[in-house]
Amino acid sequence: MSTESVRIVWVYPDLLSTYGDRGNMLILAWRARMRGMPVETVEVRSDERLPDQGDIYLLGGGEDGPQALAAQRMTLDRGLHRALESGAALFAVCAGYQLVGSSFFAKGEMCAGLDLLDLSSDRGPTRAVGELAGTPAPDLGLPPITGFENHGGRTHLGAGVRPLARVTTGVGNDGASEGVWQGKIVGTYMHGPALARNPAIGDLLLSWATGSTMEPLDDAWPTRLRNERLAAVR
């Protein structure tokens, strides 16, 4: 962690911000501030250099063209790669999730990803749209995940990484597994403000970033929201 505050970096909101992606930055910042932790949020446009001193990096969703462009610019920039090598955390959703792998499918062709994790994505037979729920990997100590997915991709995990969850409703990676978890990186097809319904994932990222355990917050409203959404797919 940087010396003074938790630095949250939203990568390329001009390219990777399809639907409520700002929410994850707002929720992380709010959860940190509620615990008295100083927070700095940084939005880095795609024509700017990515800082390598951030604590938590966020990659959002995007359309095909911007997704491909984001991959090219991040590969040249290397800022995110350097930050992760020095121990930063990364939360990547939807198109941003596909970017962390070795390749993804956009605008009718395979594109090179950032190659941060051992996974690859291609196009599925149908578009996955709707509620997504699952049982997380036990090691993570998380409650069930709940979100909304809207993507045409399918993601294949390599031997070196683990899924975030086992799917109970929806499609996720392939109808069986959802997302990825490796080191301090979480990737998911729960799009947009995924942390609104999964504050425990937000706290996991904050604990990785700070190296300390997060004390509980009054999560009455998120808990009611979670219960409602999980009941709706039961």
Partner 1 sequence: MTSNTGPNKSLPLRAKVATSVSKTAAALSRAAGRGDGSVIGGWIGLKIDPDLLSHLAAGRRVALVSGTNGKTTTTRLTAAAMGVLGDVATNSLGANMPTGHTSALARAGHTPYAVLEVDEHYLDQVITATSPHVVALLNLSRDQLDRAKEVAMMASLWRDALRGRDTHVVANADDPMVVWAARVADSVTWVASGQRWHDDSWVCPECGAHIERVDGDWYCTGCDLRRPVPQWRLDGDAVVDPFGEHHLVTLQLPGRVNRANAATALAVAAQFGVRAADAVPRLGQVTSIAGRYATAVRDERTIRLLLAKNPAGWLEAFDMAEHVPTLLSINARDPDGLDTSWLYDVDFSPLHGRPVLITGDRAMDLAVRLEVNGVSFTHVTSFARALAAIPPGRLEVIANYTAFQDIRAELDRVN
- Nearer residue to partner 1 within complex by CB, 23 or 51: 23
- Binding of residue 221 to partner 1 (CB under 8 A): yes
Among positions 37, 110, 112, 129, the unique one binding partner 1 when judged by CB under 8 A: 129
> Binders of partner 1: how many residues, by CB under 8 A?
33
φ/ψ of 28, rounded to 5, equals: -60, -45
- Binding of residue 47 to partner 1 (CB under 8 A): yes
Q: Which two tokens stand for residue 61?
A: 């969703």
Among positions 114, 193, 214, 230, the unique one binding partner 1 when judged by CB under 8 A: 193
- Binding of residue 150 to partner 1 (CB under 8 A): yes
Alpha helix stretches (DSSP H) within 49-198: 64-77, 79-85, 95-99, 194-197
Whether 28 and 79 have beta carbons less than 8 Å apart is answered as no
- The amino acid occupying position 107 is K
What pairs with residue 91 in β-bridges? Answer: 58, 186
Active site residues: 94, 191
Among positions 5, 20, 103, 210, the unique one binding partner 1 when judged by CB under 8 A: 20
- Burial of 93: CB neighbours in 10 Å, binned 0-12, 13-18, 19+: buried
Residues 97 and 109: their CA atoms lie apart, in Å, by: 18
Stretch that binds partner 1, among 35-43, 78-86, 107-115, 185-193 (CB under 8 A): 185-193
- Nearer residue to partner 1 within complex by CB, 22 or 82: 22
- Binding of residue 71 to partner 1 (CB under 8 A): no
Q: Which of 220, 232, 206, 227 is closest to 143 using CA atoms? A: 227
Q: Which residues bind partner 1 (CB under 8 A)?
A: 14-15, 17-23, 26-27, 30, 45-47, 63, 65-66, 69, 129-130, 148, 150, 191-193, 196-197, 221-222, 224-225, 228
